[in-house]
Chain A
Amino acid sequence: AQKVTQAQTEISVVEKEDVTLDCVYETRDTTYYLFWYKQPPSGELVFLIRRNSFDEQNEISGRYSWNFQKSTSSFNFTITASQVVDSAVYFCALSSGYSTLTFGKGTMLLVSP
């Protein structure tokens, strides 16, 4: 069985602060994929990143960065210099073996001006 835990239910920051969203996963498979999705108030999930288990390089995309650490089974997401438009629910998800996606319960990020 696979599991994704996002321990932070809600995070509130002020604009321009950096914020890290935590994601811890469990799987017995050696090959797996990790994902992050953003769900703005409109409701549609937006794909942000996919990472496979053999690629532990951290990735940066603009103000977004991801830290993948197999040793701690974590795939954390950092937003640098947060903006009001970053306010959304963020989901971490895992797929291993040939199973479907397992989502965490999400972290609601509120960025105030």
Chain B
Amino acid sequence: DGGITQSPKYLFRKEGQNVTLSCEQNLNHDAMYWYRQDPGQGLRLIYYSQIVNDFQKGDIAEGYSVSREKKESFPLTVTSAQKNPTAFYLCASSLQNPGQVYNEQFFGPGTRLTVL
């Protein structure tokens, strides 16, 4: 089945540790995204990538890093510089059609990160 997988579902981290969240898609989508969701808040964009080996900062990129070495993979690293990392993290992907403004994003099941 085509879709987006995120692992792990739950993640616990000690303060001061870096942690990497996995996101893989087999939809052959060009663009991938990382969002953060806090209780009662909408989704806020952390980073996005429209093509392999290229990515852009979103609204809240500080304390996070990403890589896009393969089309199907877009891992997110939450560094120790992120002051409030406890949140729900969602990965998404979409097609990028030339000349079309925007395609719908499809989301993974999310990773809930808790800093102890």
Give residues in A with beta carbon < 8 Å to B. Answer: 4, 9, 31-33, 35, 37, 42-47, 50, 52, 91, 95-98, 100-101, 103-106
Interface stretch, picked from B65-73, B74-82, B97-105, is: B97-105
Q: With A33-B101, A95-B102 in contact, do A103 and B43 touch (Cβ < 8 Å)?
A: yes
With both beta carbons as reference points, the residue of chain B lying nearest to A95 in the complex is identified as B102
Q: Which residues of chain A have C-beta atoms less than 8 A from B104's C-beta? A: 35, 47, 50
Are A100's CB and B106's CB within 8 A?
A: no
Q: Which residues of chain B have C-beta atoms less than 8 A from A96's C-beta? A: 101
Q: With A32-B101, A33-B101, A100-B58 in contact, do A91 and B43 touch (Cβ < 8 Å)?
A: yes
Give residues in B with beta carbon < 8 Å to A. Answer: 33, 40-45, 48, 58, 88, 90, 92, 101-110, 112
A-B contact pairs, 20 of them (CB 8 A): A43-B88, A44-B107, A44-B108, A45-B90, A45-B107, A47-B104, A47-B107, A50-B103, A95-B102, A97-B101, A98-B101, A100-B48, A100-B58, A101-B43, A101-B105, A103-B43, A103-B44, A104-B42, A105-B40, A105-B42
With both beta carbons as reference points, the residue of chain B lying nearest to A49 in the complex is identified as B104
Add 13 more A-B contacts to A50-B103, A106-B42 (CB < 8 A).
A37-B107, A44-B108, A45-B90, A47-B104, A47-B106, A95-B101, A95-B102, A98-B101, A100-B48, A101-B43, A101-B105, A103-B43, A105-B42
